[in-house]
Amino acid sequence: MEYQHLDRVDSPEDLRSLPSKKIPELNLEIRDFLIRNTVEHGGHLASNLGVVELSVALHRVFDSPRDHIIWDVGHQSYVHKLLTGRRRQFRDLRVPGGLSGFTKRSESEHDAFGAGHSSTSVSAALGFARADALSGNGAYTVAVIGDGAFTGGMVHEALNNVAPDMRLIIILNENEMSISRNIGTFARYIARIRSSKSYNRVKKNTTSVLRRVPLVGKPLFRLGRWTKKLFKNLIYHSNFFEELGLFYIGPIDGNDYGMTERALRYAKMKGEPVVIHLHTKKGKGYEPAEKDPCGYHGVAARPSDESTFSRAFGDALSELAGRDERVTAVTAAMGVGTGLEDFAGRYTDRYFDVGIAEEHALTFSAGLAAAGMRPYVAVYSTFLQRAYDSIVHDIALQGLPVHIMVDRAGLAVSDGPTHHGIFDVAFLSHIPGITLYAPVSFGSLRAIMEKTRDASTTVAIRYPNRAESCEINAAFYPDGDYENFGIRAYKTEDADALVITYGCIVSEALAAAELLRKEGVRLGILLLEELKPYDLVSDKIANLIGEGRPIVFLEEGVYDGGAAMLLAERLGERGCLGSGHRILAIRDHFASPESACDLLAYCGIDRASIVEAVKGLLSKVDKN
């Protein structure tokens, strides 16, 4: 597809040279490009359609990379990428080693700060603004943050440290959505500011009148700012941002290009910390996304009606809640993503969406558990990292029966390193008192949830973002006996070598077994659906494997501190590894390739790597 204006924009300089009257046509071309490419290849669509005007205005008003534009989360930075020379790379968007779906410093000098998690932009922006103030280089820093991300506690910690000498502009992009619709007191407050016509009319009219007074207009305007604030406080009250000493502009229509650019130029002229409050429409310009911004937040190739582990968890939790009034569900703005829509509708008083606040979600759940409830916290593995202290200090240390449901476990092939769920096993494994499970089927997920419902300590259950595998079920649950989970065996009796693994990466082990069978090598597999306590699991494994066969440990997670390392250590102490062993896991990197590739192969945990490891171990046995 050829575009009259977009094809000529390979840098912010090209954009600034475009006549102002052509900007509306450019905006239409950008939306067409986003829809065509994202619908075809997948990606975040609705959020990017909403910030077209803002993105174009930012790069016409500010001088990136000298000025720093920092996008919160980063999933709404597609237009920014288009305008900074990455249009031709969109064919590899969200492919491992291709164009990242988020901002990434190594990808472009225009990506001032990498992001993938929410609510980091204001803290990072303060760091840039303070560094610029110290160096005296006169650069501006702009943080673009949504009202959903504004519910995150880090934002308010950062606002507490804003200083008047900073050339800092915070753009609050209110679209009333994060992924799900925003919930909470602050989200309602933001909407109330926007809807308060009387507040904005007084502010606008007072400024306009004072500026037109001859001779004494400007001095009176400066005095008038104090008088106006006092008058407004008495009648309409001040707003949150002005109380913090930030100059507030808005709310304005962020999809009106002219208004948006004027607001940015005015904020730049102020030379002090400014908040610009924009109201944009998520999915703007694409009717399906406007009607269903939640459904079009992320566009994927997978059919929307396909059953996933998230939905299976949500269904199972609803069943438990129907039988146990203590069961509650907690999510940090990810109710839809974690499969809790049905639970939210059926058990409204026991469903808690706390906003983008994972730390609070876990400690809140600790409070629920301490008061006698049975909370299930549904959180993506990558976001669970943000609540580590809450798990250690508030939950595990007190031995509280909180269920931590770890969604999106394993590699996030499309979203990349900011979303890989590869650290949770390692950091949960060394916390005392936690039991850790990794079901590979919907049936075993339900069985584990049922068995642990009355557990007296903390339970973590991890599962991937995918449907269950018929192949895995056939290999490990041919009889459908999901109640008998724990350790499942596949062709281990007369095997020449064994693979010990957990999670859905076992499909690679099954494929490797088939490849080796064709070469006359018999490979058995032990699938672990219970990982911790490791001493107990190691005893069970030792009883099953005996001695004399080499073992490959396979893990879709980090090597250091991971389950494979811990199990190998314990099995070695029991004398079970005399014929040699190898650990295939992600070793000391973030699984972030620089060029397009197969991610499992890049990490050395694919079927070919298993075959190579098995052959290498068997050859050593033969030599001995």
- CA separation for the pair 556, 609 (Å, rounded): 13
Instruction: Convert 397-409 to b/e letters by CB count within 10 Å (16 or more is b).
Output: eeebbbbbbbbbb
Q: Are 378 and 312 in contact (CB under 8 A)?
A: no
In this structure, what DSSP letter does residue 469 have? P
How far from the centroid of its chain's Cα atoms is residue 473's Cα? 29
- CA separation for the pair 68, 622 (Å, rounded): 61
Q: Exposed, middle or buried by CB within 10 Å (0-12, 13-18, 19+), for 315?
A: middle
- CA separation for the pair 310, 297 (Å, rounded): 17
Alpha-helical segments (H) within 430-469: 442-451
Q: Which residues pair with 586 in a beta bridge?
A: 558
Q: Are 380 and 334 in contact (CB under 8 A)?
A: yes
**Helices 607-623 and 506-517: angle between axes, nearest 10 degrees:** 50
**Is beta strand 523-528 parallel, antiparallel or unpaired with respect to 487-490?**
antiparallel
269, amino acid identity: M
> ∠ CA(128), CA(131), CA(137), 5° rounding?
100
Question: Given CA atoms 415, 417, 418, 419 in this order, what sign does their dihedral have?
Answer: positive
* Strand intervals (E) in 381-454: 403-407, 435-437
How far from the centroid of its chain's Cα atoms is residue 431's Cα? 23
- Three-state secondary structure string covering 586-622: ECCCCCCCCCCCCHHHHHCCCHHHHHHHHHHHHHHHH
Q: Which residues pair with 327 in a beta bridge?
A: 374
- CA separation for the pair 605, 487 (Å, rounded): 21
Catalytic residue annotation: 282, 358, 386
Provide φ and ψ at 112, rounded to 5°: -65, -35
